[in-house]
Amino acid sequence: MRFLYPLFSIVGFILLWTIAAFLIADPLLPGPVEVCSAIYREISSGALWHHLFITLWRVLASFIMAMVIGIGIGLAMGRSHMINGLFDPWLVFFLNIPALVVIFLCYIWGGLTEAAAIIAVVINKVPNVAVTLREGTRSLNYELEEMGQSFRYTQWQKFQHIILPQLQPFIVAAGRSGLSLIWKIVLVVEFIGRSDGVGFQLHTYFQLFDVAAILAYSLAFIAVMLLIEILIVQPWERYATRWRAEPA
Amino acid sequence: MQHVGVQSLLKVHIKNKTYLGANGVETQALKDAELTLTENSFTVFFGPSGCGKSTLLRILAGLDSDYEGEVHWAHPPKVGMVFQEPRLLPWRTVKENILLSADPTFSEQDFSQLVEVMGLTEMVSHFPGELSLGLSRRVAIARAFASKPNLLLLDEPFVSLDAPTAARLRQLVRTLWVDNPITAVMVTHDMREAVELGEEVLLFTARPGSIHDRLTILPTDRTSEATIEAKRSEVKSLYPHLFET
């Protein structure tokens, strides 16, 4: 029964959508059939794969960079009062600066280049990762670190066996919200200053008012992100938390 | 005077050790605490709560270096520690917990033997969250022995266990220590533990702690339940103020 509820919900929505599209009968509200045929058209021309892979590459590149930099800053801020004091005003600043402003400035100062696009996305995401990891670092168990110290663990052993497992839930949380935020920002970056990628295609079809194609690209990308969640994030999380007793 | 062939591993003289409490008041934990540990001896720090015996143990473990005084080692220190709480890594199995702290020369065969003696053979692939406190303590003790230390430190390792489990664990520590002689120090406020395991018992004064007197426990003191109890009562009547009510 547990699996049936989401299924009911999705099937119900598609039905509603079909009926609404049929009643309104306007190209600005295409039905599921039109959207599927748009997806098919874009797949068979090869355009969808091309743009999808370029966007995915940008998402992964900026995701990895933002996570590594954000984890580093968060760890340092959680560990040292001095570093926290030095970085904190800038963290607040970058948390509150509008994404669009960062994108504009990166393109103005860096030109309409791939590097400027990636940097803009990374700058938007790093503060969120840093804040989450700072909290994680502050909640580290001091007793386990003492245990490592008394048994003369190397710095790497301490990091790998004592610190990283405790930060893992914070890294997963930052990664989850990071992935969904990053792909949205990547689309904006592509929309404004790139000549390929899903964001660029959305821009093109927006000018043509082709709603079916806009939905086609959005659904294709959401499907890819869902696959990443199901095939990579969830199995990794299950593996990393296997030591925890099953929640009641 | 030292016996011929008996070498000291460690000479300690802590002139002054203070710490800053949460309320900002500085407290003196140790004052002129002096001791020498001979190789392969079993020493017990005995005294009431808050007398600085755990603080001294932490200094020996290298976990606290903020003191006035000297700690002189005859060899490079290699500490195996058993904390009051088991302090196992919850995300590593029993086997991984033991092997992570083990000495490089600790072989797979040594591991099988150790877990056999400790009665942990069935548990090696379990995670600490699946173990009782008694079993977790056994893993912590096994981990300390696997690190092949030259100084074994035990900080009230049997506290909050039921009496039969504590007795079994004391017996295990005793067996392990007899089979692998190493210099050991145990902190306790239970004279029964001290008599059952220790060779020398250092009696600490109340805060600021220093060593008030030393007792030698002879093997004959632990030949039976009755002799252990007799020794315990004797010490208690001599030093009633060191016993918690």
What is the chain A residue with the closest CA to B130? Answer: A245
Nearest-CA distance from A73 to chain B in Å? Answer: 25
B205 touches chain A (CB under 8 A): no
DSSP secondary structure of B66-111? -SEEEEEESS---EEEE-SS----TTS-HHHHHHHTS-TT--HHHH
Per DSSP bridges, beta strands B183-188 and B42-46 are parallel
Q: Taking 50 as the threshold, does the pLDDT of residue B50 lie above it? A: yes
B87 touches chain A (CB under 8 A): yes
| Average pLDDT for A186-197 | 92
Residues 6+ positions from A181 with CB-CB distance below 8 Å: A124, A125, A128
Q: Which residue has the tokens 């904006």?
A: A188
Cβ contacts (< 8 Å) between A245 and chain B: which residues?
A: 129-130
Say if the Cβ atoms of A243 and B83 lie within 8 Å.
no
Q: Taking 70 as the threshold, does the pLDDT of residue B12 lie above it? A: yes
pLDDT tens by residue, B147-189 = 999 899 999 999 888 888 888 889 889 888 888 889 999 999 8
- Helix, coil or strand: residue B185: strand
Q: Taking 90 as the threshold, does the pLDDT of residue A158 lie above it? A: yes
Closest CB from B62, B100, B129 relative to A244: B129
Say if the Cβ atoms of B87 and A244 lie within 8 Å.
no
To test the contact with chain B by mutation, choose from A243, A244, A246 the residue with the greatest count of B C-beta atoms within 10 A, namely A243
Cβ contacts (< 8 Å) between A146 and chain B: which residues?
A: 63, 83, 87
pLDDT score at A248? 39
Cβ contacts (< 8 Å) between B63 and chain A: which residues?
A: 146, 149-150
Q: What is the mean pLDDT of chain B?
A: 86
A65 touches chain B (CB under 8 A): no
Instruction: State the ipTM, two decimals.
Output: 0.84
CB B195 within 8 A of CB B184: no
Residues within 8 A of B (CB atoms), A 128-147 only: 143-144, 146-147
Say if the Cβ atoms of A143 and B83 lie within 8 Å.
yes
Per DSSP bridges, beta strands B8-20 and B68-73 are antiparallel
Residues 6+ positions from A91 with CB-CB distance below 8 Å: A77, A127, A130, A131
The Cα B217–Cα B186 span in angstroms is 14
pLDDT tens by residue, B183-233 = 999 999 888 888 889 999 998 887 777 788 888 888 888 878 888 888 888
- Please give the structure tokens belonging to residue A244: 């925890």
Q: Domain spanning A39-240: which CATH class is it, in words? A: mainly alpha
DSSP secondary structure of B55-77? HHHHHHTTS---SEEEEEESS--
pLDDT tens by residue, A85-100 = 999 999 999 999 999 9
To test the contact with chain A by mutation, choose from B79, B100, B145, B152 the residue with the greatest count of A C-beta atoms within 10 A, namely B100
